[in-house]
Amino acid sequence: MNTLAPFFIFPNGSSVSWPAVPVFSITKLVRVTGELLDRGARICSWFGVQDHEETCLVAILAMDSESVLGVARSEPISGSYPSLTPRYPQAHLFEREVWEQHGLVPLGHPWIKPVRHANGTAPANAPFFRVDGGEVHEVAVGPVHAGVIEPGHFRFQCQGEEVLHLEIALGYQHRGVEEHMGGGPHRATMSQMETVSGDATIAHATAHAMVMESLAGIEAPLRAQWLRALALELERLANHTGDMGALAGDVAFLPTMSACGKIRGDFLNLTALMCGNRFGRGLIRPGGCRHDLDPQRLQTLKARLETHLADVEQATAWFWDAASVRVRFLNVGVVHTSQASDIGLVGPAARASGLVRDVRYDHPAGWHRFSQAPVAVWPSGDILARARVKSLEIQRSGRYLLEQLDGPVDGDILAPAPVPAPESLTAALVEGWRGEVCHAALTDHSGRFRRYKITDPSFHNWTGLALSLRGTAISDFPLCNKSFTLSYCGFDL
């Protein structure tokens, strides 16, 4: 037990007083974090907190096997510290981010450059990694892509058709979300949390609401937790269905593409039935939910859900039935289990590389303490596996929703607005449809935000997409990309 010692150990969605967070020298923090990662922990968040002219580094780790989180911090430092990245690649973007935000240099980090900050009217994301050689050529794509999609820059190093290396340079979407949380929550905060990553509104809004509730030492009414769990699965259904359609479209399998495009909208309309907005905006507030499901609305929701689930089952069955589809996905874009674990993948991408990793199951909070859907895992790490996991999750989320709709819990849906306690740190994890959404907050002496750190699952997973391209034909990039479906603005914040 206590495998996260000497970190302070706490469950998902609870808080700790800032003075009670263990303080280590920076070298000890790096060493102990490394030892814990060796024992199976993983990094949920790693960020700096400004302390006068210096910075405290804060590490939040998860030990999935024991359903606990651990937190520790360093003494205030400036200058540099020994990098975790050479031994633990999952730290690489976190260390780059801390360098960008606080100027702390991780000594030994192989690829220090900005993560998202703009230099004038474009991100400061050059220079790019280059492979030299007579037959090597470079392909640059973006920021504006061919489809209706968010912007990012992809730099491929290719030999013929084969991709040797892909560097993904983002930052185009940076809107200053975290920077404006200081001194908050502000009036616009909840709306900003709902748009951190617009197709994961419920996941981010739930994480923020959990942060506020935990800092205030309250819990949302059970019925509100139940409503949030419903909305989270509807969000997963809509997005996974859209992904299945997009994957089908990329291999020119039109029946599934056409059907799933429409069914995705049908699922979004179920969220709109709950709250008026297709993306769930305005549903979740700190303290609970703003809209209830009256019995008649619940029956309508259930009836429509059953129809749409049958539709998506049929549309994905065509897809899996077609050998011409399967062969395009098999052994393409492979991320091996060891790679997935090294780079700290989360969500369906991790589960498709054989990692049993799901916040709903590993770190249950809210309604998931009482009911869970089975975790969907597939071992092969290729596009087939990622599609398979999404397909399985559509079935399981559907079944979960139908069960939950049969057993509503009574009660209020909104508690009085939570008032955060001063000098407290909290972390809330939510399994959004892309994976682990992590919101961590630290309050100052008056209970306002001193630091707010958001880690979208895409922050962990973009590296997975880059690795999946190695040795793959460049023409398979769109397929690999859609099998991950990552968020640009969730990363850029």
Partner 1 sequence: MYIFDTLTNRLKRGCMTMAFPKGPAPDLPDRHGGALRLDPSKCSATCALCVEVCPSQAIVRSNGQLRLDLGRCLFCADCVTACPQGAIQQTNDHRLAARRREDLVLSPAQTEMRLAEALDEKMRRLFGRSLRLRQVSAGGCGACEADINVLGTIGWDLSRFGIQYVASPRHADGVLITGPVSKGMELALRKTWEAVPEPRIAIAVGACAISGGPFAGHAQTNDGAGSIVPIDLHIPGCPPHPLTILDGYLRLLDRLEKNR
Applying CB under 8 A, the residues found at the interface with partner 1 are 116, 118, 120-123, 143-144, 146-151, 171-177, 179-180, 187-188, 190-192, 194-199, 201, 242, 255, 258-259, 261-262, 264-265, 268-269, 272-279, 281-282, 291, 314, 317-319, 321-322, 487-489, 492
| Distance from C-alpha of 262 to C-alpha of 241, rounded to nearest angstrom | 9
- Cα separation, 156 vs 164, whole angstroms: 8
Q: To the nearest whole angstrom, how small is the minimum distance from the Cβ of residue 264 to partner 1?
A: 8
**CA-to-CA distance for 7 and 10, rounded, in angstroms?**
9
Between 84 and 270, name the residue whose CB sits nearer to partner 1: 270
Of residues 107 and 317, the one with the C-beta less far from partner 1:
317
Q: Which is nearer to partner 1, 425 or 454 (CB)?
A: 454
CB 34, min distance to partner 1, A:
34
Task: Give the single-character DSSP code of 91.
Answer: G
Question: What's the rounded Cα separation, in Å, for the pair 480 and 475?
Answer: 10
Cα distances (angstroms) measured from residue 305 to each of 231, 234, 398, 402:
12, 9, 8, 8
- Distance (Å, whole) CA 397 – CA 137: 44
Within 10 A of 414 (CB to CB), how many other CB atoms are there?
17
- Contact, 243 vs 485, CB < 8 A? yes
Report, in Å, the least distance between residue 146 CB and partner 1.
4
Nearer to partner 1, 269 or 372 (CB): 269
Query: Shortest Cβ distance from residue 377 to partner 1 (Å)?
Result: 26
CB 274, min distance to partner 1, A: 8
Contacts of 411 (CB under 8 A, 6+ apart): 221, 222, 223
Nearer to partner 1, 20 or 254 (CB): 254
For the chain, first and last CA: distance in Å? 36
Question: Closer CB to partner 1, residue 85 or residue 487?
Answer: 487
Beta strands in 18-160 (DSSP E): 23-24, 42-51, 54-63, 68-74, 80-82, 105-107, 118-119, 122-123, 136-141, 153-159
DSSP E strands, 281-394 = 284-285, 288-289
Beta carbon nearer to partner 1, 243 or 362: 243
CA 362/CA 356 separation, integer angstroms: 9
The residue among 1 and 146 lying less far from partner 1, judged by its C-beta, is: 146
Minimum CB separation of residue 416 from partner 1 in Å reads 16
**What's the closest the beta carbon of residue 250 comes to partner 1, in angstroms?**
14
